Chains A and B, each alone.
Chain A
């Protein structure tokens, strides 16, 4: 490793290899930068803005900004976490996130990030959008009430599964949503399968296998064991 390829993250020296983004370098070094739409397997989408950091005093997305030697990066400052919490509150009110009866509870990145950032209320008025549930597929349920538009399913289906089952479409806050690439718009009319990478990529509870709800007891779910900020190195979602 070239000794000059390091940057400061909250005062800690982080090594990187040229071409790595800030979040990639931090993750490889075991340091948590809060995020939702970024996934280590895929090219950054840069849409959720939760991973925003301050680089030499200026805001930037750590998932898209390349690491450079000598950078001074702020990550878990009060100012940044306050802004992240506000963004999270917006995510919660824009969808219908009822954690108490959600199968993904305890395994959900949105919920775990909210706990990590000490979000205790939605703060804003709830939108209560009318989002569809697509239960047409024999093995998989789609509950778009929980979608945060991270587009990881779109990317995984296209790049790993080679199927293009999902696409992002529509305009405006309530119009923009994930579409199913079939004539009927139903998942049953695609070749989507439980074994697809896209079937297990969703960080929230939109894409779930059917008839297996709550099979993992409380205490044994992913974030029951360790909070999200301590699961950085093993993160594959």
Chain B
């Protein structure tokens, strides 16, 4: 299956423009655009050029090392991997219910991460585009420029992130790459002093998060036409929801809807995710392309992350964020809820939800409890799914009788969004680049579309060994001299239960 503008018919005759590397995103990626002599766009691709190896080198390691090791996939939201791996190994240990203290400490850690990651993305990475304009002076279009022009906004961004990092430090032991969550529970709860220290600023964080929602709402109001149309496309979506349909970023069942909003599956038990999700590969990217099996590779791509979560949940279980969600969904007849830049608005609503969640959990006495570990009846495998800042994150492990991991499969948030990001940049290329002289400011529009998804390209390129690849040897004249496919079943790799 090839999408519009994915592959040009005669690439050898076209001019190539590359954005390499894409800046202000996590990890390394590049965009290539093929244009003809009239600057008409024929091909746009977001390439992921990193190559990692976590699924391979986790094999043979003892299972209790996994939550600490796999979080090294990322330095921005390692807590997601830390918790998803822990949840998978909880299941492997046969634990159906954590102790209340363990469950709430993990949720607190996760909310701290959601707060810091969303603050980092909005204030440090994206606000320069949004506050100064998409094609504004490149010299000012960065966080230093924001500090100079909008010092109060920048300060709140820095302090929101710092607070989230402090929540992580007190629950996980370190701001980055802690060890707090272990299979079966946690290794620490909060002390009374830690709780009091976090409570001091908890209400301020809620207020500043509300202000941040106001900033992006105001930007939408000021730039309604541009923001609604920018890289807009219709997409299916997926997220976790709680049993009552509420947003739950830590645990729940899978909900998926097609581009018309029709439910494909709901409250689906994620321990058999492979029944509903497949993965496609393309010869030009290290990153896989997941799809809903019921719709196939052609129509089955979807998006995950804040926009899917905020628009697909029935409500948000904290009052201020839920009110902002209602405003977002009703804005201009629902237009922002389908816009690519709606991701930013949804992300700030989630940041507010995270701040409210932290405040609520800090008032819960379970977080200073001492019952940290649960036990269960050992199983052979475990699947853990969590809503990471960037979207649904799946960890799947098989462990042998000697406690060693024999197989691992990770489907990370950015991988789910692969096709959606490619579609968004192609839409932007059509809207802004087609037939005009390309400038740096116009190329930044492409990056803005990618940034809206807050991709983590480091996380998304974790595979080694098991990844199917198609290789083509192309002559100077563009003819394909030889090609080979690693997977004997062709381009599509069926996800299945790990053997």
Contact = CB atoms under 8 A, between A and B. Distances in A.
Interface of A: 100-103, 133, 135-136, 141, 143, 210-219
Contacts of B182: 213-215
Contacts of B172: 218
Interface string B382-403: 0000000000000000000011
Nearest to B171: A217
Given A211-B64, A218-B173, A133 B403 contact: no
Contacts of A216: 187
Contacts of A214: 64, 67-68, 179, 182, 187
Contacts of B173: 217-219
Contacts of A217: 173, 179-180, 187-188
Given A101-B68, A103-B64, A210 B187 contact: no
Contacts of A135: 62, 402-404
A212 B404 CA distance: 14
B309 interface: no
B188 A141 contact: no
A15 to B, nearest CB: 41
B352 to A, nearest CB: 30
A213 B62 contact: yes
B72 A210 contact: no
Contacts of A213: 62, 64-65, 68, 182
B178 interface: yes
Greatest chain A CB density within 10 A among B65, B67, B72 is at B65
Contact of A211 (B69, B72, B178, B403): B403
Contacts of A103: 64-65
Contacts of B64: 103, 210-214
A210 B65 CA distance: 11
Contacts of A143: 62
Contacts of A136: 402
B486 interface: no
Contacts of B402: 135-136
B45 interface: no
Interface in B40-75: 60-62, 64-65, 67-69, 72
A211 B403 CA distance: 8
Greatest chain B CB density within 10 A among A103, A213, A219 is at A213
Contact of A210 (B60, B61, B179, B403): B403
A133 B60 contact: yes
Greatest chain B CB density within 10 A among A210, A211, A214 is at A214
Contacts of B174: 218
B403 A141 contact: yes
B69 A218 contact: no
A141 B62 contact: yes
A148 B457 CA distance: 37
A141 B400 CA distance: 14
Nearest to B67: A214
Per CB-CB distance, the 3 closest pairs between chain A and chain B, nearest first, are: A218-B173, A213-B64, A101-B69
Nearest to B58: A101
B177 interface: yes
Contacts of A141: 62, 403
Nearest to A135: B402
Contacts of A101: 61, 65, 68-69, 72
Nearest to B72: A100
Nearest to B179: A214
B85 to A, nearest CB: 11
Given A211-B403, A218-B174, A218-B179, 18 more contacts: A100-B72, A100-B177, A101-B65, A101-B69, A102-B65, A135-B62, A135-B402, A141-B403, A143-B62, A210-B403, A212-B64, A213-B62, A213-B64, A214-B67, A214-B68, A214-B187, A215-B187, A218-B178
Contacts of B65: 101-103, 213
Interface string B183-195: 0000110000000
A100 to B, nearest CB: 6
Contacts of B60: 133
Greatest chain A CB density within 10 A among B60, B72, B179 is at B179
A211 B72 CA distance: 21
13 contacts: A100-B68, A101-B61, A101-B69, A133-B60, A133-B404, A210-B62, A210-B64, A213-B65, A213-B182, A214-B64, A215-B187, A217-B179, A218-B174
Contacts of B61: 101, 133
Interface in B154-201: 172-174, 177-180, 182, 187-188
Contacts of A218: 172-174, 178-179
A103 B63 CA distance: 12
Nearest to A133: B60
A219 B188 CA distance: 11
A141 B178 CA distance: 23
A103 B182 CA distance: 12
A193 to B, nearest CB: 17
A100 B69 CA distance: 7
Contacts of B177: 100
A194 B205 CA distance: 48
Contacts of B179: 214, 217-218
A102 B404 CA distance: 15
